[in-house]
Structure 1
Amino acid sequence: MIILVVILAIVFIIISSTWLKLHPLVGLLVAALGVGIFSGLPVDKLAETIGKGFGELMSKIGLMVILGCVIGAILDKSGAAIKVADIILNFFGKKYPAFAMSVIGAVVGIPVFCDSGFIILSKLNKIVAKKTNRPLGTIAIALSGGLFATHTLVPPTPGPLSAAGNLNISDSVGLVILVGLVVSIPSLFLSTWFAQKFAKNLDIIEDDELKINDTEEKTLIPAWKAFMPILLPILLITIASFAKILQSGGFPLPEQLTKWLSFLGSPLISFLLAIFFSYSLFPEKPAEKMLACFKSGIEHCGTTLVLVGAGGAFGAVLKETPLKDMVSTWLITNQTSGIVFLLIAFLVAAFFKTAQGSTTSSMVLTSGILAPLTTSMGFTEPLDLTLLVMAVGSGAMTVSHANDAWFWVVSQFTGLNQKDAYRTHTLLTGLQGIVSLIVTCLIYLIF
């Protein structure tokens, strides 16, 4: 009975946002109430459970999501994103522009939403295509693949950050970042190969009047300042994670040093430090421009926060139902392996992504459903749970199509018709999800 109730709730979440055109928040909350009532949970405690689920997830990752969005706005408004792209392009040279664009996308996609990143870099697409005499379709699809890979797998973007929070590994974000980077690397090579092979002959309306302003490029901010908002948090979080690894491995650092590294390497403090140093990106009226970045970032992440919290509420209700025990018993009785559990995570996330379009919602819902099952499946260590986040993220890539805003951003800012967007962008996101899952399973088998 409970399985049928949950399936109907999931179907309702999808129909409410696609056919009934309700806001996803309404669909998630109504589904949570429905699951609670029809599964026999005490109705006098149901509202409290929903509120608690919403609040607990917000307490874990809410501020990090907000600050991550602010960093994204800083990269946009300061011109740092363009500078980062220009440096990476020069590093790889004109011989490998498609791979350079994938790498650019991967770097910018760590703190910036992939749709915002593509819009920010859409002019760069045209500049690179003209400078290197390569088809615009190849350059644009390679960029979209790079952006999508890290957006789905590497915090501080909300999807992997929310999944880590649901699976109770918020204090191991550094490990999630490191593993996410490793898992996303094959996706960059895939994006490059796919773009060069299948996107070179696309029918695109190109901007023949585009003029490259060399003077403007030369007056961009210094390289180290451009990279700082991206690399500083990653560096601090990584150092703190290595300190924990050394301590658990019997090679502890001095206690006071470990405390300070842990403090500075917490996502919240590292993001705040990156934002503090970002004032130097604006030589004129820094306070005024940073205030604009805060306003833009907060506005951008408002809907995301609401959906993340609502997903946490839905997951909290699921945890109170008998579903956890039933599924756990079935998995154990059938001697389900860890690989099968990763595959289940992938399939559930792919179902949500394909049905309702949002990568973040897919990761929040899937991780919330799987969280009660992790212990019974033997997923208790940070690395195991991190690989579960990767499996969920791989599923949440699969696939981007017409119900996904990302689909329309790539197609409209590139000049693709809908048919060509399905043949390239949609197909690539599906392949990226499968490749990322394979890499995740290989890491699981090795370690």
Structure 2
Amino acid sequence: MITGSMLLVIFVVAIAALLLSIIKFKANPFLALMGVSILTGLMVRMPLPDIASNISKGFGNTMGGVGIVIGLGIILGQVLAESRAINAIANGMLKTVGSARANLAINISGWLISIPVFQDAAFVIFMPLVRQIQKSTKKPLVALVTALGVGTIASHSMIIPTPGPVAVAGNMGVNIGSFLFYSLIVSLPATLIGGVLYSKFLEKRADKNAYLPKADHEVAVDNRPMPTMKLSLSVLLFPLLLILVGSIAAMILPKENAIRPIFAFFGDKNIALFIGVIVAFLALGKYFDKSTETVIKEATISAGLIFLITGAGGSFGTVINTSGIGQYLVDTLTNMNVSIIVLGFILSQLLRAAQGSTTVALVTTSSILGPLVAGTAASPVLVALAICAGGIGVSLPNDSGFWVLSNYSGLSVQDTIKAWTVGGTIVGASAFMIIMALSAMPFLPGL
């Protein structure tokens, strides 16, 4: 196989081919990742049987580590949406902080709900409420949409059980509890910077009469009963608390302690999410407008493509690393004194900007860097978080989320760039700065 500096050239060609196939030829990301995996293997002169086996091994290893969590996370999100628990959290948050702090209420609500619910879906569900808030508070729509948009993308990119963060945690081989704990610490302050401070900045400079609700933006009010905010939040946070408690117990209890295996069992990500889904059905099922079977079917339909993209990203990463490209890339950057934490953020950010999909950027970057972190002094948790932070910002019109936000909010392209592109970039950069600050504190537990 090829060695030396040509590996770097092949890596650049492979990434360019991936981006070209998705952006120019509108190829499905799954097919693009599979095709580029084969192309990369051929370019490095990997034996044909090895190309096939590495693609299969990469797909299987990735899905074996994250497949159950992704599936259960999607079902949990569907339950919260169908039961209108999302609306209950948003309404309760608004009542708690008051209409004068509507930016804060919307931002935190979006951040919470996009932990289990896909960002696009969370935004669409929230927009009717945002328009109602605009009518009552007279706040500029661009400021409220910024608060919602950056809140949803921050947790979607950094917190399990959404597919991107789950894949990153699996590929990096990190303790899921430690990863969850620090992702909450990093993402919430970053979200507040972009969703509250920056939205206030826009609010002071925006035309308050712009984007008043129009007839085609009015949405029928859903008068179905909804759960309380307390119940909704409890269901949302329950599986996350199980994971955190299990990880904390593993750190403080001695290995010979009799109850340590019990905490380890219930704190396992797969078990915790499974229990969380069962609790969600029992607690929120009476608020459904559909049968339980229909809710599950709708969730699994949306999960199929995510499984394929995630697995194919693992295939691509395995080919990259078995070819020697990954190690050569890290060695080159190490000689240039570039931290692998910085590399993770930059590579993820470039992929996100170039092809639009946060999930593809996170899966691809973590698949490449995951096997290489062990050979460095960097914390795998912080590298994982840096990759996630890189997937937040620089969302351009090649990102479907850009148009979801523009079309459902009614903002112009110019204001969508202000709210979504600039706002998200502020959140991603803020998260990265927090991560770099944490990297200077290696005494922290779990790092």
Is this a same-fold pair by TM over 0.5? yes
Residues in 1 aligned to 2:89 and 2:124: alpha-carbon distance in whole angstroms: 15
Say if 1:133 and 1:419 are closer, same or farther in 2 by CA, change over 3 A: closer
Amino acid at match of 1:353: R
Residue 231 (structure 1) shift: 0.8
Give the equivalent residue in structure 2 for 1:417. 412
Residues in 2 aligned to 1:283 and 1:328: alpha-carbon distance in whole angstroms: 53
Give the equivalent residue in structure 1 for 2:423. 428
Say if 1:115 and 1:140 are closer, same or farther in 2 by CA, change over 3 A: same
Say if 1:232 and 1:326 are closer, same or farther in 2 by CA, change over 3 A: same
1:20-419 matched pairs, under 5 angstroms: 20-169=25-174, 172-190=175-193, 191-199=195-203, 200-201=206-207, 203-207=210-214, 216=223, 219-247=225-253, 252=254, 255-279=257-281, 280-283=283-286, 289-334=291-336, 336=337, 340-379=339-378, 384-419=379-414
Residue 254 (structure 1) shift: 6.8
8 A contact 2:186–2:435 mirrored in 1? yes
Residue-by-residue CA offset, 1:119-177 (whole Å, 9 max, x unaligned):
111111112222333222221210111111111111111111101111112xx212111
Say if 1:325 and 1:141 are closer, same or farther in 2 by CA, change over 3 A: closer
Residue 253 (structure 1) shift: 7.7
Residue identity (%) = 26
8 A contact 2:313–2:367 mirrored in 1? yes
Residues in 2 aligned to 1:324 and 1:369: alpha-carbon distance in whole angstroms: 6
Give the equivalent residue in structure 1 for 2:445. none
Residues in 1 aligned to 2:359 and 2:92: alpha-carbon distance in whole angstroms: 30
Residues in 2 aligned to 1:282 and 1:328: alpha-carbon distance in whole angstroms: 49
Residue-by-residue CA offset, 1:331-362 (whole Å, 9 max, x unaligned):
4444x36xx22111111111100010000100
Residues in 2 aligned to 1:6 and 1:63: alpha-carbon distance in whole angstroms: 31
Residues in 2 aligned to 1:78 and 1:368: alpha-carbon distance in whole angstroms: 36
Say if 1:67 and 1:220 are closer, same or farther in 2 by CA, change over 3 A: same
Say if 1:436 and 1:284 are closer, same or farther in 2 by CA, change over 3 A: closer
Amino acid at match of 2:182: V
8 A contact 2:171–2:366 mirrored in 1? yes
8 A contact 2:356–2:399 mirrored in 1? yes
Residue-by-residue CA offset, 1:181-222 (whole Å, 9 max, x unaligned):
111122222221211222543742514795996x948x4213
8 A contact 1:126–1:207 mirrored in 2? no
Q: How many residues get paired?
A: 431
Amino acid at match of 2:124: I
- What SS is found at the alignment partner of 2:99? coil
Amino acid at match of 1:240: G
8 A contact 1:72–1:112 mirrored in 2? yes
Amino acid at match of 1:296: E
Residues in 2 aligned to 1:237 and 1:399: alpha-carbon distance in whole angstroms: 31
Amino acid at match of 2:410: G
- What SS is found at the alignment partner of 2:117? coil
Residues in 2 aligned to 1:205 and 1:133: alpha-carbon distance in whole angstroms: 9
Residues in 2 aligned to 1:284 and 1:100: alpha-carbon distance in whole angstroms: 24
Amino acid at match of 1:154: I
Give the equivalent residue in structure 1 for 2:18. 13
Residue 373 (structure 1) shift: 2.1
Say if 1:17 and 1:205 are closer, same or farther in 2 by CA, change over 3 A: farther
8 A contact 2:123–2:152 mirrored in 1? yes
8 A contact 2:18–2:33 mirrored in 1? yes
Residues in 1 aligned to 2:144 and 2:342: alpha-carbon distance in whole angstroms: 32
8 A contact 2:396–2:421 mirrored in 1? yes
Say if 1:253 and 1:320 are closer, same or farther in 2 by CA, change over 3 A: closer
CA RMSD, aligned part only? 2.1
Unaligned 5+ runs, structure 1: none
Residues in 2 aligned to 1:330 and 1:316: alpha-carbon distance in whole angstroms: 19
Residue 410 (structure 1) shift: 1.0
- What SS is found at the alignment partner of 1:220? coil
Residues in 2 aligned to 1:85 and 1:139: alpha-carbon distance in whole angstroms: 13
Unaligned 5+ runs, structure 2: 1-5, 443-447
Normalised TM-score (structure 2): 0.91
Say if 1:128 and 1:253 are closer, same or farther in 2 by CA, change over 3 A: farther
8 A contact 2:142–2:415 mirrored in 1? no
- What SS is found at the alignment partner of 1:410? helix
Residues in 2 aligned to 1:210 and 1:322: alpha-carbon distance in whole angstroms: 55
- What SS is found at the alignment partner of 1:327? helix
Residues in 2 aligned to 1:443 and 1:358: alpha-carbon distance in whole angstroms: 27
